[in-house]
A and B are shown apart, each in its own frame.
Chain A
Amino acid sequence: MNTIKYEPIIGLEIHAELLTITKMFCGCSADHSSLLEPNTLICPVCTGLPGAMPVLNKKAVEQSILVGLALNCTINEVNIFARKNYFYPDLPKGYQISQYDHPVASDGWLDILDENEGTRQRVRIRRAHLEEDTAKLMHKGNFALIDFNRAGVPLLEIVSEPDMHSVQAILSYANKIRAILRYLGVNSGDMEKGVLRFEANISVRPLGSQELNTRTEIKNLNSFRSLTQASSYEINRQIDLYNNGLDVNLETLGWDEVKGETYSQRGKEEAHDYRYFPEPDIPPILVDRSWVQTISSQLPELPDAKNKRFMEEYGLSLQEVRSLTYEKEFADFFEKVVTLSSSPTKMIYNWLTGEFTRQINERNIDIQKIPVTPENFAQLLDLFSSRVINDFTAKEILVEIFISNKNVRDIISEKGLLQISDENYLTDLINRILSENPDPVKQYLAGKESLFQWFMGQVSRETKGKSDPQVVRQLLQKILKNNN
């Protein structure tokens, strides 16, 4: 059978909630995801009461410009808000204030690494526009309840061109956008709170073809997991349709997390006509060059630049560097420890991405709230590398500082954890252990060298893990040799 190889063509829309203090058009707090009672962060404006009017939050525009700059976009001089008209109970005014033909930013790009192919690839960004979030609907029995705390929170919609050709590529792109937004401090990146939501536009075509086939759009993907699962399901579904001589319909799809399937929400015939027109309550916003320059001067070092610098300054590979820079706070922590510590950089890297990360994951710690100070961690590493404590003790203390962040030296003296490297003491101890265990000594001397580790273990047990393994090793080798 002649199987055709297909190439997926994917564009992504990312809706990112901005981290402004107040909502986009009123003075209500935008911090809707903190555990609050429903409808406690509301006012006449964000519940669409008759007569209430929107007043634009300048910070939302500034944050959007910042994102536009980070994504290499043109920042448009004239920003016009528009009304997007449709009825739904989560949309209190019966229209969403959004941007239509005059968005904040357009025509940008972002380079990503396609993990499958390991190649660098450029994804073009079509536009980034500001809009207001909707209320949240909750269903209880026969009722639908509406919580307006989220209504009016600023959202930035970042729309890519259909430049991605694998699920790996969209994952890489989405992750990178998330990292950039976090670096810019404009989005918490907290996926569980729904601060990033995705929509994927997908079509497939025979590899090598230049035609564009009918696409479908999957709405409301709220996690990286559902983004990747829904996308790969949809790619395969479309390929199956073509392989069976069928066609793909232009439609909007939902994603059923439980069944692991996409399903049709509405077809082409039911497509909304949003009847956009300029929002008369908000005068056009003029973004002049000097405003852009002021904002541009606030741009922090972004992941790509940081990766490059880390590779050069710390002699790490790209792979290694990326595990440090994915979260800005983690990269900052690493750099602080490097500055404070006299231990080798590679060792700091190993500890941070190893034991340290394990603690963070096991304890489900928010990377923005690392409970350990860089000073304390640097001290721990230095005491270890200067052999004041051994590996076992260092790990024990690490656990301790994750719990209390007590000073490392205090923990050592309180618990008597100083490493034992006193040769006289250890020689006496080894001699005693050997004399108490004549059989293993005989076997070892007869050639069963694996017993060396057993003797090491005995010493460690007697010292409750505090003995300096290097010293013990040397002494043990010497004494066993003499016993021969």
Chain B
Amino acid sequence: MELYNLSIRKAHELLVKKQISSVELTSAVLANIHRLDPKIRAYLTVVEQRALEQARKADIRLHSRENITPLTGIPYAVKDCFSTRGIRTTCGSKILQDYIPQYSASVVEKLNNAGAVLLGKHNMDEFGMGSSCENSAFFNTHNPWNLERVPGGSSGGSAASVSAGLSLFAIGEDTGGSIRMPAGFCNIVGLKPTYGRVSRYGHIALVSSFDSVGPLTQDVYDCATVLQTIAGKDPKDGTSLPDPVPIYTTSLEKSINGLRLGIPREYFQAGMEAGVETVLQDAIRVFEKLGMQVQEVSLPHTRAALPVYYLILFAEASANLARFDGTRFGYSTNQKVESVIDLILQTRQEGFGEEVKRRIMLGAYTLSAGYYDAYYLKAQKVRSLIREDFRSAFEKCDVLLAPTCPTTAFKIGEKKQDPLTMYLSDIFVVATNLAGVPALSLPCGFSEGLPVGMQLIGNHLSEEILFQIGYAYQAETEWHNMHPLIT
């Protein structure tokens, strides 16, 4: 097996046994980036020298056998929505095309302290607004399983990268499926943790009340390992949760026999591709075989999830994106302007892409006097009904199973001109962000040669159980071990 396709767990074993060095591992991944990334285009920025320097430091640490963590010497990359000190951070937008931050996001700091080796920054839909990576201001990312298809979004660069061996893991961010959906399209594991489980400090906010930072990895074990490192209370994020972080990797092999698996009726009525449904039914049989009790449950307000999600998204995003005004950092217009307000307007006119501007306008509209009650406030009320749906479902079962996306990866350009159809691809993922609960997306088969993902949705702070079930599933199946053949 090539070094760049190693799981974190395996690579760690080899590093600790000194069968490989971090510099060797990092160099192998960098070489693979040189070889494949011109086709995949997962990276917006690669910091080769810096990565090799970090790898050398990791090797010293490994050599001294002190302070070694499961991620010491492991090369990874982050979605370009995380602030990285001294490394260009664009968030996929022209408005930040040359922005070099002065500080690093807490998640990057934590990984850095653990000794992980940062390779660079992954392509994404501009400010996370999109489900295909086609809204990146820079270029499209291609699905490693079929280069004519999208990798999903918005963390599309990250999913494609992990799938193609361009990084051993990635950190993405999930506002409404942005980790899970591309993970499903690219046949890897993606976790949207409980809201507040991982610090958002330094993540360029899209929707502050939905945004969840999480790992994209090759398998469940690796996912548990990364979450272990990045989870926990951060004094810089007032919404991060104080609850202690369990040691996820030690309980992975716990039996799932007797656990109750809920199948939300509405999700299977909403319509999905036949190939996706077939694969899902196969997965359900695997869970039954593993001793889980499968039962149907209802999430009655599912139909409202998508409009509520977008209403709240538009509103919060319109404010979150107000700071990009061309006065302190990032892109600023070169046009001659008459006043500072004109400078702000012109900069934003030129710096933001179409989808971003569309959402800002919708957001400003729904928050404006006379419309607030009808849109934003009502959306928040329905949001609490959706939360209640989940609360009562989790009285009847331990986890829910649903497809991650109604389709497999679609063709680049196929939905670009039709934002509403694009929004519909998020139909199974957004409700969890509204409820703030965790969801783990896993590879569960193929339809016409393209990967299909499913998600296990758990109750508040139930990541441990999600990992146990996912781990048991992966012990029983081989889907996650399949790598794309890129020619």
Query: Do A and B bind?
Result: yes
Min CB distance, B391 to chain A, in Å? 19
Interface residue? B257 (CB, 8 A): no
Task: Give the docked Cα–Cα distance between A417 and B147 (Å).
Answer: 101
Query: What residues of B have a CB within 8 angstroms of the CB of A56 in the complex?
Result: 238
Query: Which residue on chain B has the smallest CB distance to residue A47?
Result: B328
- A53 to B202 CA separation, bound complex (whole angstroms): 8
Q: For residue A94, which residue of chain B has the nearest CB?
A: B322
For window 319-365 of chain B, which residues contact chain A by CB distance below 8 Å? Answer: 319, 321-325, 327-330, 340-341, 344, 364
Q: Please indicate the chain A residues that have their CB under 8 angstroms from the CB of B204 in the complex.
A: 50-51
CA distance A192 to B133 in the complex (A): 54
* Option from B205, B315, B364, B372 in Cβ contact (under 8 Å) with A51: B205
On whether the beta carbons of B340 and A89 are closer than 8 Å, the reply is yes
Cβ A275 vs Cβ B364 within 8 A:
yes
Q: Which residue of B lies closest to A85 (CB)?
A: B319
Asked whether any CB of chain A lies closer than 8 Å to the CB of B467, the reply is no
Q: Tell me, in angstroms, the Cα distance from A94 to B369 when the chains sit together.
A: 18
Report the minimal beta-carbon distance from B84 to chain A, rounded to whole angstroms.
Answer: 10
Q: Is there an interface contact between A50 and B101, defined as CB atoms closer than 8 Å? A: yes
The complex places the Cα of A54 from the Cα of B103 at a distance, in Å, of: 15
Enumerate B290-343 residues with CB–CB distance to A below 8 Å: 315-316, 318-319, 321-325, 327-330, 340-341
- Asked if A49 meets B372 with Cβ closer than 8 Å, knowing A275-B367, A281-B238, the reply is no
Q: Could you tell me the distance between the alpha carbons of A313 and B341 in the complex, rounded to whole angstroms? A: 60
Asked whether A283 is an interface residue with its Cβ less than 8 Å from the other chain, the reply is yes
Contacts of B325 in A (CB 8 A): 87, 89, 94
How far is it, in angstroms, between the C-alpha of A420 and the C-alpha of B107 when the chains are bound?
82
B194 vs chain A, min Cβ distance (A): 15
A50 to B17, CA, bound (A): 41
Q: Give A56 to B329 CA distance when docked, in angstroms.
A: 25
**A417 smallest CB distance to B (angstroms):** 61
Q: Does B327 contact A51, Cβ atoms closer than 8 Å?
A: no
Q: Give CA–CA (A94, B89) in the complex, Å.
A: 20
Residues of B within 8 A of A51 (CB): 81-83, 101, 105, 201-205
The answer to whether B319 and A92 have CB atoms under 8 Å apart is no
- List A contacts of B329 (CB < 8 A): 49-50
Interface residue A282 (Cβ < 8 Å from any Cβ of B): yes
The distance from the CB of A410 to the nearest CB of chain B, in whole angstroms, is 54
**Is B198 positioned at the interface, with any CB of A under 8 Å from its CB?**
no
- As a 0/1 sequence over residues 257 to 286 of chain A, the CB contacts with chain B under 8 angstroms (1 = contact) are 000000000000000010111001111000
CB 8 Å contact bits of A31-42 with B (1 = contact, 0 = none): 000000000000
- Digitize B99-130: 1 where CB-to-A-CB distance is under 8 Å, 0 elsewhere: 10111010000000000000000000000000
Contact with B along A307-344 (1 / 0, CB 8 A): 00000000000000000000000000000000000000
Q: How far is the CB of B362 from chain A (nearest CB, A)?
A: 12
Give A186 Cβ to nearest chain B Cβ, in Å. Answer: 23
Q: Which residues of B contact A144 (CB under 8 A)?
A: 340
B237 in contact (CB, < 8 A): yes
Interface string of A65-88 (1 = CB under 8 A from B): 000000000000000000101011
User: Are A49 and B102 touching (Cβ within 8 A)?
Assistant: yes
Measured CB to CB, the closest approach of chain B to A230, in angstroms, equals 26
* Distance between Cα atoms of A283 and B319 in the complex (Å): 17
B367 pairs with A280, CB closer than 8 A: no
How many residues of A sit at the interface, in one of the four size bands?
20 to 34
Whether A95 is near chain B, meaning CB under 8 Å from some CB there, is yes
- Scan B451-472; emit 1 where CB is below 8 A from any A CB, else 0: 0000000000000000000000
CA distance A56 to B323 in the complex (A): 20
- A82 to chain B minimum Cβ distance, whole angstroms, is 10
Q: How far is the CA of A146 from the CA of B340 in the complex (A)?
A: 12
Q: Which residues of A contact B235 (CB under 8 A)?
A: 55
A48 near B: Cβ within 8 Å? yes
Distance between Cα atoms of A277 and B101 in the complex (Å):
28
Separation of A34 and B204 alpha carbons in the complex (Å): 33
B278 interface residue (CB < 8 Å to A) = no
Given contact pairs A50-B91, A94-B325, A87 touches B238 in the complex (Cβ within 8 A)? no
B238–A94 touching, CB < 8 Å? no
CB pair B238 A283 closer than 8 Å: yes
Q: Which residues of A contact B97 (CB under 8 A)?
A: none
Known: A56-B238, A92-B328, A281-B208. A50 touches B319 (CB 8 A): no
Once the chains are docked, how many angstroms separate the CA of A56 from the CA of B369?
27
Bound complex: CA A304 to CA B200 (Å): 48
Judge if B209 is at the interface, Cβ distance under 8 Å. Answer: yes
Question: Nearest residue in A to B127 (C-beta to C-beta)?
Answer: A50
Q: Would you call B376 an interface residue if the criterion is a C-beta within 8 Å of the partner chain's C-beta atoms?
A: yes
* Bound CA span A385–B376, Å: 74
- On whether A50 and B83 interact (CB within 8 A), knowing A55-B235, A93-B322, A275-B364, the answer reads yes
Per-residue A-contact encoding for B389-401, CB less than 8 Å = 1, 0 else? 0000000000000
B128 to nearest A CB, angstroms?
Answer: 12
Known contacts A48-B323, A49-B103; A87 and B344 CB within 8 A of each other: yes
Q: State whether B238 touches A280 (Cβ < 8 A).
A: no
B residues 365-397 near A (Cβ < 8 Å) are: 367-369, 372, 376
User: Which residues of A have CB within 8 Å of B201?
Assistant: 51-53
B137 shortest CB reach to chain A, Å? 15
Contact A49 B238 (CB under 8 A): no
**Nearest-CB distance from A149 to chain B (Å)?**
15
* Complexed CA–CA distance, A276 and B319 (Å): 10
CA distance A146 to B368 in the complex (A): 29
Q: Is B96 an interface residue (CB 8 A)?
A: yes
Closest residue of chain A to B202, judged by CB?
A51
Distance in angstroms from A319 CB to nearest chain B CB is 49
Q: How far is the CA of A277 from the CA of B81 in the complex (A)?
A: 24
Interface string of A199-217 (1 = CB under 8 A from B): 0000000000000000000
**Please, how many angstroms separate the alpha-carbon atoms of A83 and B323 in the complex?**
13
Residues of A within 8 A of B200 (CB): 53
Quote the shortest CB–CB distance from B259 to chain A (angstroms): 32
Contacting residues, chain A, for B364 (C-beta < 8 A): 85, 275
Closest CB in chain B relative to A375 CB, distance in Å: 46
Is B238 a contact partner of A53 (Cβ separation < 8 A)?
Answer: yes
Interface string of A117-151 (1 = CB under 8 A from B): 00000000000000000000000000010100000
Q: Give the nearest-CB partner of A148 in chain B.
A: B328
Bound Cα distance from A273 to B366, whole angstroms:
12
Flag if A89 contacts B83 (CB, 8 Å): no
Q: Is the CB of A55 within 8 A of B236?
A: yes
> CB within 8 A of B319: which of A53, A146, A273, A277?
A277
Q: Which listed residue, B89, B207, B372, touches A277 by the CB 8 Å rule?
A: B372
User: Chain A contacts of B207 at CB under 8 A?
Assistant: 280
Tell me if B103 and A83 are in contact (CB < 8 A): no
Give the chain B neighbours of A283 by CB distance below 8 A.
Answer: 238-239
Question: Contacts A146-B327, A280-B209 hold; do A50 and B89 have CB atoms under 8 A apart?
Answer: yes
Chain B residues numbered 199-224 whose CB sits less than 8 Å from any CB in chain A: 200-205, 207-209
Least distance between A173 CB and chain B CB atoms (Å): 31
Q: Say yes or no: is A44 at the interface (Cβ < 8 Å to chain B).
A: yes
- CB neighbours (8 Å) of B376 from chain A are 277
| Contact A280 to B208, CB < 8 A, known contacts A95-B322, A146-B327 | yes
CA of A283 to CA of B239, assembled, Å: 7
The residue from A49, A55, A276, A281 contacting B83, defined by CB atoms under 8 A apart: A49
Q: Are A280 and B82 in contact (CB under 8 A)?
A: no
Instruction: Enumerate chain A residues within 8 angstroms of B239, measured Cβ to Cβ.
Output: 280-283
Known: A48-B323, A275-B368, A280-B208. 7 other contacts (CB 8 A): A49-B329, A50-B96, A50-B329, A53-B236, A88-B340, A146-B327, A275-B319
The 3 A-B pairs at the shortest CB distance, nearest first, are namely A94-B322, A280-B208, A275-B367
Mind listing 26 A-B residue pairs with CB under 8 Å? Answer: A44-B83, A44-B101, A44-B102, A48-B323, A50-B204, A50-B323, A50-B324, A51-B82, A51-B101, A51-B202, A51-B204, A53-B205, A55-B238, A89-B325, A89-B327, A89-B340, A89-B344, A93-B322, A93-B323, A94-B319, A146-B327, A275-B367, A277-B316, A280-B316, A281-B239, A283-B239
